[in-house]
Amino acid sequence: MSEEVLQQATPGLIPGSGTARAAKPTRLSPSFISWLQAGPMMLVFLAFFLIPLVFVVIVSFWDYNEYQLLPAFSGRGYTDTFEGCIAQLPDLCTIGKTYLKTLNLCFMVWAITLFIGFWVAYFLAFHVRSKTWQMGLSLLCTIPFWTSNVIRMIAWIPLLGRNGLVNSGLMKTGLINHPIEWLLFSEFSVVLALVHLFTFFMVVPIFNSMVRIDKSLIEAAYDAGATGFQTLVNVIIPLSKPGIVIGSIFVITIVMGDFITIGVMGGQQIAAAGKIIETRVNALQFPAAAANAVILLVITFLIITMMSRIVDIKREL
């Protein structure tokens, strides 16, 4: 939009038209300019995402031995991965158990981050009146991001350990006699760390949707006699949906692929889809790792497709 205005006002200033200034001013078509604007990102996306992804898919169908990739078609990466899935019925096979665990963790983290994220965003959008304070407070939310992910995660360990701060505090107050073991290296600690790390990814998009809700709609609801709860359910939540979905996509994709947090906080004893890939890569079994990466991608993609069925993000934005 502003580009077009710019061209009409000063045709000589079209980027890259140094010669055009002397000769007859030429116009670049708006669609060409849009391509030009989207181009760099598209190239980055192509070079660092799409092409590598194609390679991953190709390699996932290769064979391998102890020390090299064998570029011959083989479904071994996949068949090995689903080994025992039929034979062990009704018990789950390794991959089944792993995904069940990963999805389970993912669901818990999603539900908790959504709950917390929604109310933090709600507070910022509707209870904080001044724009300055809104900005200030949302910047405050980013402070934890000044240190690395790993440090924020590891910081929990001395707190939750057997002889950690929480346990020794509880023992001193006499509430417990023995340290609580499940505080650390358990699903609890994994979920806690993931929620701590990723709630902010929920807050931002939801907040963004909420501040764009026309305040007069809420006034209208109030005038029409809606209770606070009715306004929330019938006005605010539906209008925040794009933010909720975008935040959910952030959180779900991150948690589905995570293996570091699950590894460190789970004491390396909890299976994760990402963990399988890591073990395979470390054993130089690249095709098997690639096959697992493709499976993870497909499952994550399915989840996201289902979510975007609920809300048409493109239209809402």
Give residues in contact with other proteins (CB under 8 A): 2, 5-6, 9-10, 13, 15, 66-68, 80, 83, 94, 97-98, 101, 157-158, 161-164, 181, 184-185, 263, 266-271, 275-276, 279-285, 288
Q: Angle 94-122/273-282 helices, nearest 10 degrees?
A: 130
CB 148, min distance to other proteins, A: 16
Give the residue with the Cβ less far from other proteins, 147 or 268.
268
Give the residue with the Cβ less far from other proteins, 202 or 276.
276
Written as one string, the DSSP assignment of 63-129 is EE-SS-EE-S---HHHHHHTTTTTTTTTS--HHHHHHHHHHHHHHHHHHHHHHHHHHHHHIIIII--
CB 5, min distance to other proteins, A: 5
CB 156, min distance to other proteins, A: 13
Give the residue with the Cβ less far from other proteins, 81 or 248.
81
Written as one string, the DSSP assignment of 153-203 is HHTHHHHHSTTSHHHHHHHHHTS-SS--GGGSSSHHHHHHHHHHHHHHHHH
CB 57, min distance to other proteins, A: 19
Give the residue with the Cβ less far from other proteins, 144 or 164.
164
CB 174, min distance to other proteins, A: 21
Give the residue with the Cβ less far from other proteins, 138 or 167.
167
Cβ–Cβ < 8 Å for 69, 56: no
Instruction: Give burial (CB, 10 Å; 0-12/13-18/19+) of 181.
Output: exposed
